[in-house]
């Protein structure tokens, strides 16, 4: 079996971060479903060979889609996606046919039943493990077992796989008719200064994959991620495609530039005057505690100095970026550039998420930030994909 023979489907696909990483790992996307049009347009632009459907998944006929794709049951290698899972448990506070969250995860199971793929991948937030004291996760694993899948769960730190960001994600992986080997989850390859701030135990077992003592590669820093991008002033737009001002200075930048003709989605949001004033008081690695009280929002004037340590933060160039959210609003995190008096651009946020520069985000700037923030980091998805592919190859 050659690399291009591994086929996958991506449900709840978003802009395509998970698909981008799986594609880099050697999987070929056949079909993707996404309900938000702006996200689907970005996916289509960057994955033109994939059949992308913009629709509510509840309106899709899984059996019909399988037939249209021309594949038999049990032929698909991987069914991937990030379905909302909270509320699936029978112990949910309100058990009702009106609970939209229940239906959405059941839609994923409906596709599992229709395609009977060799492997399944579900991505979610770390809080899934502790939701309802683990009842939801138990219900998910039991539902997969009922469909014939041996599944397991791990929480992966993106920085352990080269992503320059403090981000954790839960992955549920499963194999049809087999127990899932531990090798299905990728081993961390970098050390990074991250610590779990969530429940990391399930059924008495630790779920977080930590680097081994032999792992000595250093994490990718903020400066590694973005120092080769064109400098900008607050609110500066410039040309749609910008030239790289310097040669790449590290492997991360060289990887990011592969296939790129220039820097796209790199326009500086315009900060308000009050935020510009606040920014003058913040050193790299600093935060809101350096800002004079009179310049702080009223609610933060009463806050303890130990609270909200990321708000109005200016990132340290030798550290990791804050978790990239759906908007890089300084009020919610460390989204000020370490040396330029402005907040991050969409491209910088995408670099922190490990998207390659040839990946173009469509729509308005706010929609682009949302697409980036909601995505699975491609480098993390790539690591998971390579591990799954290795297990599938052994099963041939």
Catalytic residue set: 85
Say how far apart CA 178 and CA 114 lie, in whole Å.
19
Say how far apart CA 160 and CA 167 lie, in whole Å.
10
Say how far apart CA 314 and CA 288 lie, in whole Å.
9
In total, the chain counts a number of residues equal to 396
| Residue 12 tokens, joined | 């709840």
Say how far apart CA 384 and CA 185 lie, in whole Å.
6
- SS3 at position 191: strand
CB 343 within 8 Å of CB 269 = yes
Burial of 99 (0-12, 13-18, 19+ CB in 10 A): middle
- Residue 312 per-residue DSSP state: T
Say how far apart CA 116 and CA 134 lie, in whole Å.
26
């Amino acid at each position: 079996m050659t690399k291009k023979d591994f086929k996958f489907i991506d449900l709840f696909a978003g802009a395509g971060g998970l698909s981008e990483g799986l594609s880099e790992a050697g999987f070929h996307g056949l079909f993707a479903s996404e309900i938000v049009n702006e996200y689907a347009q970005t996916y289509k632009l960057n994955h033109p060979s994939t059949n992308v459907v913009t629709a509510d998944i509840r309106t899709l006929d899984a059996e019909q889609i399988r037939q249209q794709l021309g594949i038999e049951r049990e032929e698909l290698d991987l069914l991937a996606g990030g379905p909302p899972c909270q509320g699936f448990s029978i112990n949910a506070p309100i058990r009702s046919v009106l609970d939209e969250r229940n239906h959405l995860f059941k839609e994923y199971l409906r596709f599992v039943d229709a395609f009977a793929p060799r492997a399944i991948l579900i991505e979610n937030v770390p809080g899934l493990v502790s939701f309802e004291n683990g009842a939801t996760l138990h219900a998910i694993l039991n539902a997969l077992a009922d469909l014939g899948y041996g599944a397991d769960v791990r929480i992966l730190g993106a920085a352990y796989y080269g992503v320059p960001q403090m981000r954790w994600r839960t992955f549920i992986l499963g194999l049809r008719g087999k127990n899932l080997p531990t090798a299905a989850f990728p081993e961390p390859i970098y050390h990074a200064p991250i610590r779990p701030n969530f429940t990391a135990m399930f059924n008495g077992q630790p779920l977080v994959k930590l680097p081994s003592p032999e792992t000595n590669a250093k994490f990718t820093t903020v400066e590694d991620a973005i120092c080769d991008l064109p400098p900008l002033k607050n609110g500066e737009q410039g040309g749609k495609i910008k030239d790289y001002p310097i040669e790449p200075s590290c492997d991360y930048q060289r990887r990011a530039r592969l296939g790129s003709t220039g820097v796209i989605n790199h326009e500086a949001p315009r900060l308000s005057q009050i935020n510009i004033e606040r920014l003058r008081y913040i050193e790299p690695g600093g935060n809101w505690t350096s800002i004079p009280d009179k310049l702080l929002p009223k609610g933060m004037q009463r806050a303890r100095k130990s609270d909200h340590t990321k708000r109005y933060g200016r990132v340290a160039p030798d550290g990791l970026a804050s978790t990239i959210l759906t908007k890089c609003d300084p009020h919610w995190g460390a989204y000020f550039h370490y040396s330029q008096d402005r907040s991050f651009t969409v491209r910088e946020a995408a670099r922190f998420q490990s998207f390659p520069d040839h990946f173009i985000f469509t729509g308005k700037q706010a929609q682009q930030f949302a697409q980036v923030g909601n995505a699975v980091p491609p480098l993390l998805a790539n690591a998971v994909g390579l591990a799954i592919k290795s297990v599938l190859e052994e099963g041939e």
